[in-house]
Amino acid sequence: MARSALALGMVLVASHCGSGGGATPAAASGDCCEIAPNPSLPAGMGSIVVRYPGGASSTRIDVYAAGDASKSIDSDYGDASLLLAPGTYDVTVGGRRVPGVSVQAGHDTRIRAGVLHVHATEGTRIDVVDSNGEALASDYGEGLYGLPIGTVLVEVAGQREPALIEDGEVTEF
């Protein structure tokens, strides 16, 4: 019995981020997040944590009940730690969906994220697009975009180029 419980626990930790329908997920199952104990959390609560290297304070984070993108449960901008009841949630980071994020009581679930730093002149329009063509962000000139790990497309003057977002890294473009 103890062996079964241990195996189940290992499976749960390994699969804390699942794939879901709808928008292309930011990362495959097990790749999106890291779960770590946090004894300072209130009893029975966990948290979703997002940290960006080098900034991205205007990046929005939204948390939804898993499979229900109709109403955000919680949201914040920039580096965030959102206190939540245990369960499974869908999260958007910089407009990019991360489905099936597991929150455990007494633990932080850190979404692996990085920053896309786009260097462009003030009047140059920049569009950041997901691999399925969904617009994630648009702006003019230089900008910092916080995003979950994975490849995005950066569109400048109608041309799209891939940019790989890596955990804890700033990707220069």
52-71 confidence digits (pLDDT tens):
998 888 999 999 999 898 89
Classify 133 as helix, strand or coil. coil
Q: What percent of the chain has pLDDT over 70?
A: 83
- And the tokens for 106? 């007494």
CA distance 132 to 126: 17
Q: Are residues 91 and 75 in the same domain?
A: yes
Please choose, from the candidates 112, 117, 116, the residue with its C-alpha nearest in 3D space to the C-alpha of residue 148.
112
The predicted pLDDT at position 30 comes to 58
Task: Decide if pLDDT at 11 tops 70.
Answer: no
Q: Are residues 107 and 36 in the same domain?
A: yes
In a domain, residue 107? The reply is yes
Q: Which domain holds residue 75?
A: 16-112
The predicted pLDDT at position 1 comes to 38
Mean pLDDT over 1-11 rounds to: 35
CA distance 166 to 113: 7
Q: Are residues 23 and 59 in the same domain?
A: yes
Task: Decide if pLDDT at 16 tops 90.
Answer: no
The predicted pLDDT at position 18 comes to 44
Q: Are residues 27 and 91 in the same domain?
A: yes
Q: Are residues 100 and 130 in the same domain?
A: no
Give the chain's domain count: 2
Q: What is the pLDDT of residues 101-147, one digit of tens each?
A: 999 999 999 999 999 999 999 999 999 999 888 999 999 999 999 99
CA distance 72 to 81: 15
List residues bridging with 92 in a β-sheet: 62, 97
The predicted pLDDT at position 7 comes to 34
The predicted pLDDT at position 170 comes to 96
